[in-house]
Amino acid sequence: MKKTIALVLMALSPFAFSAQLEVSRTNVRANVPGSDNTTAYMLIENLTKKDVRIVGAESDVSAFTELHSHKMDGDTMIMRHEKYIDVDAGESVRFAPNGYHIMLIGLDKRVKHGEKATITLKYDDGTSQAFKFDVIDPRKAAK
Ligand SMILES: [Cu+2]
């Protein structure tokens, strides 16, 4: 009986791996002096056949890391804390200014152009994935 259970578990194990997302164009905005918050942007692609729900994030540079969106409410731009963001199978979601962003709140120190930050995305199946982000100062990047 025990043997049967072990065999069943082995047969199921390929499905134990969570769907992995592809992330590119990662960047964290260098924060301006006097602010200890900043934002991170990226392109997320789900090349798998499984819908993925991002339910949170963590970073190695800030005390709090949240999923946010900017939306127009009438003629005012409002920022919202999103409980989750779905990236359905075969779809992509762009995190960009005036849309979805990762909000880094309570930075340990100023993040400067050329530095790196690690941001971990947490999924609803309990797994997570860590990604390296380049810190970019838009004023320097434009030169
Ligand atoms: Cu925000």
Residue 116 CA, ligand 1 centroid: distance in Å: 20
Residue 8 CA, ligand 1 centroid: distance in Å: 45
Residue 99 CA, ligand 1 centroid: distance in Å: 9
Residue 104 CA, ligand 1 centroid: distance in Å: 8
Residue 1 CA, ligand 1 centroid: distance in Å: 53
Neighbours of 62 (CB within 10 A): 25
Q: How far is CA 103 from the centre of its chain?
A: 10
Beta bridge partners of 130: 120
Q: Is 32 within a domain?
A: yes
Tell me what the mean pLDDT of segment 102-108 comes to. Answer: 96
Q: Is 10 within a domain?
A: no
Cβ proximity of 102 and 123 under 8 Å: no
**Range of weakest confidence among 70-74, 86-90, 98-102:** 70-74
Residue 42 CA, ligand 1 centroid: distance in Å: 14
Q: Is 8 within a domain?
A: no
CATH classification at residue 99: 2.60.40.1890
Q: Is 121 within a domain?
A: yes
Residue 90 CA, ligand 1 centroid: distance in Å: 26
pLDDT at residue number 16: 44
Q: How many domains does the chain have?
A: 1
Range of the domain at 125: 19-141
Residues in the chain: 143
Q: Is the pLDDT of residue 96 over 90?
A: yes
pLDDT tens by residue, 37-72: 999 999 999 999 999 999 999 999 999 999 999 988
* Model pTM above 0.75: yes
Cβ proximity of 51 and 88 under 8 Å: yes
Q: Is 1 within a domain?
A: no
Of residues 96 and 13, more confidently modeled: 96
pLDDT at residue number 138: 82
pLDDT at residue number 8: 52
Percent of the chain whose predicted confidence (pLDDT) is above 90: 75
C-alpha atoms less than 13 angstroms from C-alpha of 94 in its C-beta half-sphere:
4
CA distance 38 to 102: 8
Q: How far is CA 127 from the centre of its chain?
A: 13
Q: Is 13 within a domain?
A: no
Token match 């499905």: residue? Answer: 15
Average pLDDT, the chain: 88
Q: Is the pLDDT of residue 13 over 50?
A: no
Cβ proximity of 46 and 21 under 8 Å: yes
Q: Is 94 within a domain?
A: yes
Q: Is 107 within a domain?
A: yes
Beta bridge partners of 71: 78
Residue 59 CA, ligand 1 centroid: distance in Å: 15
Residue 13 CA, ligand 1 centroid: distance in Å: 38
